[in-house]
Amino acid sequence: MESHAEYAPHLLILDSPILSLKEKKHKISEKEKATPSMRESLFNYIITNCGNNQVIIAENEIPEHVDYSAANMIEFTLEEGRGRYGFLASER
């Protein structure tokens, strides 16, 4: 879409991309879940290949061993003085 769509939105929003529907709906063993390296690889891929697009990822637990230096990361914490309290700056 970025290079061939008539109206390229330049925006991708992902909600919990490392939590598959299978993990949410069915009891599965630990060996079937996404491994830490799979989660890190997914985030590395998104950061490296986002092009000139804005990518918003809503995720409860982000992978630790990823280079986020090229990303504008905003962490929502519900804690005063650490990260951003919530989506609306005026609300507590």
Q: Using alpha carbons, select from 68, 8, 80, 19 the residue that is nearest to residue 43.
A: 68
10, β-bridge pairs: none
Domain ranges of the chain: 11-58
Is residue 31 within 8 A of residue 39, CB to CB? The reply is: no
Max CA pair span of the chain: 44
Q: What is the pTM of this model?
A: 0.73
Structure confidence by residue, pLDDT tens digits, 36-85 = 898 999 999 999 998 888 899 988 888 999 999 989 888 888 888 888 89
Rounded to 5 degrees, φ, ψ at 13 are -120, 125
Residue 58 Cα distances to 3, 4, 23, 87, angstroms: 25, 27, 17, 11
